[in-house]
Structure 1
Amino acid sequence: MQKIEFDKDFLWGCATASYQVEGAIDEDGRQPSIWDTFCKKDGAILHGDDGSIAADQYHRYKEDVQLMSELNFQAYRFSIAWPRVLPEGRGEVNQKGLAYYINLSKELHLKGIKVVATLYHWDLPQILQDEGGWAVRSTAYAFADYAKVCFEALGPYVDQWITLNEPFCAAYLGYLYGEHAPGIKNPQKAFQAVHYLNLAHGLAVKEYKKSGLRVPIGTTLNPSLPRPASRKAEDEKAALYARSIFTDVFLYPLVGKGYPKEVTEDMHISFPILDGDMEIIAQPIDFIGINYYMERAVVLDETKPFLHREVPSWQRATNQDWPIVPYGLLRILKYFDQVTNGLALYITENGCANDDVLQDGRVHDHFRCDYLNEHLAACKKAIDEGVNLKGYFVWSFMDNFEWAWGYSRRFGIVYVDYETQERFPKDSAYMMRDIISGYCEY
């Protein structure tokens, strides 16, 4: 048994996303997002689930904030639903939509909880998708206009801003593999989306700098640094290729390094860059958020579009078959620290899905407790080795709509009975409470 101690200024938070928890998809002026549309597509979502009710946080946010307070959380990372604020994607502002986020922020501050707002967590207004979505340049500029509205209206209430959540998923799962909304399988559109998402981030940061706001702003990536499956030079190269296409195409432009040559030269992938784009993308930011869940092993395979192939892993896995590799988080933190020259980092998501069972009002999710403890140990080791890690947000505060998995996978540290919407803190929630208090040994 050991006690892992973090500095008192280390920020402890929990996280959710708008479409996954809010529900109320057709209330108070909100218009459809790409996920509302995607959920209606036959076979797109397991069991035909959708986010129409989700965890009903739109109506129950006070109850949820009270529970966060009881569990000791210092910050809540949530996302703003673009189609709730700008129902037509651009133009007229929906004041009722803004009012929800203002009220949520006020409630959080009332309990002494910091507000960490993500501008985009995948719920693009469907009307913008009809114009081409992230595969067209105009969407990046529409995002900048949307960001400006949020900065002006919510600026007094937000303690930390995040522009995008996981552009990897929006670009690749949305436009390359078709597993997420809008469900497109088109490599050219996927790489256009990569660039226009990067551009959208930079344009939003430019708007932020003009706003006069002074709280930190950054972005969140879900980096993938697969390990080579052998010591062979070819497999080392496979790991480099995997990192380049899945991580560096988002990370390098942020820090002024452009797109990696392994992607542009070796994979012959081009991006729709115009003069000035890369300077816009490389706007100075205050931090980068890292979402981490797993790591896989790869070998070189020149028959594949990205010149590598995943091979089986031996580690324990979650019920999504995601191998549990805490050391992978340490490697990512050290890599980001090196590439960004010591920029502040936050773990903005970390957690696991588990086959949780509610019995007599309790959920004994010790599998999740072990997972979180092992990854927190990796965080502490990174700090001890000089990484500028400033905080940790557990994913997720509560069970929710898990995208293509529907409601079949539970990530929350709080169990949600979807029939009654009653909340039940799991053992992992009480463990996090004690970790934050500084009185937990494990």
Structure 2
Amino acid sequence: MKEFLFSASTCALQIEGARSLGGRSQSIWDEFTKRNYCIPPVGKAIREINSIEVAADFYHKYKTDARIMNKLGLNAFVYNMDWTRIYPKDEHYLNPEGIKFYIDFFSEFVDKNIKPIPVLFHWDTPLWAEVRGGFQNPEIQNWFRNYVKTCFKHLGKYTDVWFVSDENSSFTKDAYLSDYLPPQKVGKLNFVQALHNLNMIAAIAKEEFESAKLKGYVSKNAIIGVDHDWSPPIAYTDEKNDLQACQRYNEWNLELYLSPSIKGEYPKCYFDYIKKHNLNFEISNDDLVYLKNNKLDLIGWNYYRPVFITHSIKNFSNNDWHIPPQFNEELDLYYVFPKDQKYTKWNWLINPNRLVSGAQELCQMYGKNIPIMILENGMGDFDNKSADMILDTDRINYLSVHIQKVMEAKQKGINFIGYSLWTYCDIFSPSGGYRKDYGLVSVDFNSAIRERKPKLSYVWYKNVIKNKGLKLDFDMNQLVEELQKTLDEWDLFFK
């Protein structure tokens, strides 16, 4: 990449809406949100599961959003696409309205000098695929092949950066080892099957990507990667047992999710897990060879927070923790939350200090010059939207220290090709519904048109982009004046 990408990221199931329009059918998330609908009391940092039928209505407002992002200065936009919109019935029927929406959307953004960066799959399996076994069924590899071939053929000319999937770790652990996410098919065998099929679709996408290059659908210099939500570990003490706990954590939470796609091989812990639990599951040699022959090109990294780890909490008291420790039985370690650290209102740790060293570890493991892109980094908050101006200074403080670390890593030789914050505008959050604000732009979810309004972080990020991330501190009074000017200019084409 010649130009560093300053981007924002978002996801179809969280922003797009129009879930029953344009020939689209249902996915596992449509079914999940309807069956588990739950609205807790206002202002509580508790999970809300709400309707995604309209969400932020990006489906109808993508032209407005393109203007807003162009005004912001973004040169890229990461978008987790909706497989179900393109293939709503089965693996054969291509929905013309669905693919046309993405063609129109990508074209509009390119016209505004914003590179679309598609993520082909993010948790949102078509319901027709799920009732046939979903990611437990190896046939999903063939279903996904048809989908990616269509995407590369019709959308390949708009971009040269792609990702196959996003947060396979959260998806597999929270949907197959717990019932936090759909499809809520809890079982160790289900977990290992789903993970392997996710790794196989990555290899399939790479094979089809290279074929699309030969056909001229995708540029010869285009790259495709996988995005991983790795929270780098920090040993809570210098004891050997804590350091060894971090090693176990990394094999399970880093290597297991990146090595099959980037190295083309599974770490030992995967096969140990299958053996330990006597699972009736075996990976063929053909699959292992296929993974090795179809390795991906780059790493997407969702950095929100590191995690403090210790092998034992017996020498500590409850007063040492911000929230209670969490024990991981499989890895025999504790996740702890030291009281002396900073946290968001949603109890997420705020600590950028593992971003540089974590990037260095990725390079040591997967190649000195491997391209890396921060695909998600942001702060969920309760923004005060009652005033004329939304002064989200906590978000600015969070983002600034993390962007600073990205720039520091670049200076140390890390091949960061871009930074994409989470997220462009307020959306549905799987962990907080519509009460958890992440956006640079506010969305009025009580408005029939989902009216947009910039926050202070919007003009702050605009300045960061303008000076290419070299200056992150700005006079607060000056930013407020700039926000007021932006609001004065915010006519009907931005709302």
State the partner residue of 1:297. Answer: 308
State the partner residue of 1:65. Answer: 66
Listed one character per residue, the Cα deviations across residues 298-354 of structure 1 (whole Å, up to 9, x for unaligned) are 123698122222122332112221101101222221111111112011101110101
Alpha-carbon shift at residue 362 of structure 1 (Å): 1.9
Q: Is residue 11 from structure 1 mapped to residue 8 from structure 2 by the alignment?
A: no
Alpha-carbon shift at residue 441 of structure 1 (Å): 4.2
Q: Is residue 348 from structure 1 mapped to residue 375 from structure 2 by the alignment?
A: yes
RMSD: 2.0
Secondary structure, in 3 states, of the residue corresponding to 1:319? coil
State the partner residue of 1:437. Answer: 466
Q: Is residue 195 from structure 1 mapped to residue 196 from structure 2 by the alignment?
A: yes
Q: 2:337 aligns with which of 286, 306, 312?
A: 312
Listed one character per residue, the Cα deviations across residues 162-201 of structure 1 (whole Å, up to 9, x for unaligned) are 1101111221111112111112321221122111111111
| 1:89/1:281 CA distance change after superposition, 3 Å | farther
Listed one character per residue, the Cα deviations across residues 77-115 of structure 1 (whole Å, up to 9, x for unaligned) are 112211100002411100100111111111111111111
CA distance in 2, matches of 1:240, 1:41: 39
Listed one character per residue, the Cα deviations across residues 229-260 of structure 1 (whole Å, up to 9, x for unaligned) are 21111111111111111221011122336222
| 1:136/1:308 CA distance change after superposition, 3 Å | farther
Equivalenced residue count is 436
| 1:8/1:429 CA distance change after superposition, 3 Å | farther
CA distance in 1, matches of 2:38, 2:233: 27
CA distance in 2, matches of 1:138, 1:263: 22
Secondary structure, in 3 states, of the residue corresponding to 2:34? coil
State the partner residue of 1:3. Answer: none
Aligned-partner residue type, residue 53 of structure 1: V
Aligned-partner residue type, residue 427 of structure 1: L
Q: Is residue 427 from structure 1 mapped to residue 456 from structure 2 by the alignment?
A: yes
State the partner residue of 2:491. Answer: none
Alpha-carbon shift at residue 440 of structure 1 (Å): 3.9
State the partner residue of 1:155. Answer: 156
State the partner residue of 2:297. Answer: 286
State the partner residue of 2:89. Answer: 88
Aligned-partner residue type, residue 354 of structure 1: D
Q: Is residue 248 from structure 1 mapped to residue 255 from structure 2 by the alignment?
A: yes
Listed one character per residue, the Cα deviations across residues 258-315 of structure 1 (whole Å, up to 9, x for unaligned) are 2222443378367642122233334233321111111111123698122222122332
> For the Cα contact (< 8 Å) 2:86–2:96, is it kept in 1?
yes
Unpaired runs of at least 5, structure 2 = 40-46, 313-326, 474-495
State the partner residue of 1:112. Answer: 113
> For the Cα contact (< 8 Å) 1:223–1:332, is it kept in 2?
no
Q: 2:246 aligns with which of 234, 239, 242?
A: 239
CA distance in 2, matches of 1:103, 1:397: 19
CA distance in 2, matches of 1:303, 1:368: 30
Q: Is residue 169 from structure 1 mapped to residue 170 from structure 2 by the alignment?
A: yes
| 1:48/1:304 CA distance change after superposition, 3 Å | closer
Q: Is residue 393 from structure 1 mapped to residue 420 from structure 2 by the alignment?
A: yes
Unpaired runs of at least 5, structure 1 = 1-6
Q: TM-score, normalized by length of structure 2? A: 0.84
Aligned-partner residue type, residue 278 of structure 1: L
CA distance in 2, matches of 1:164, 1:311: 29
State the partner residue of 1:55. Answer: 56
Alpha-carbon shift at residue 428 of structure 1 (Å): 1.0
CA distance in 2, matches of 1:119, 1:184: 22
Q: Is residue 28 from structure 1 mapped to residue 22 from structure 2 by the alignment?
A: yes
| 1:422/1:237 CA distance change after superposition, 3 Å | same
State the partner residue of 1:382. Answer: 409
Secondary structure, in 3 states, of the residue corresponding to 2:97? helix
Which structure would you say has the larger Rg?
A: 2
> For the Cα contact (< 8 Å) 1:402–1:409, is it kept in 2?
yes
Secondary structure, in 3 states, of the residue corresponding to 1:403? coil
CA distance in 2, matches of 1:48, 1:288: 30
> For the Cα contact (< 8 Å) 2:13–2:82, is it kept in 1?
yes
Secondary structure, in 3 states, of the residue corresponding to 1:155? helix
State the partner residue of 1:335. Answer: 361
> For the Cα contact (< 8 Å) 1:82–1:89, is it kept in 2?
no
| 1:138/1:266 CA distance change after superposition, 3 Å | closer
Identity among equivalent pairs (%): 29
State the partner residue of 2:143. Answer: 142
> For the Cα contact (< 8 Å) 1:62–1:107, is it kept in 2?
yes
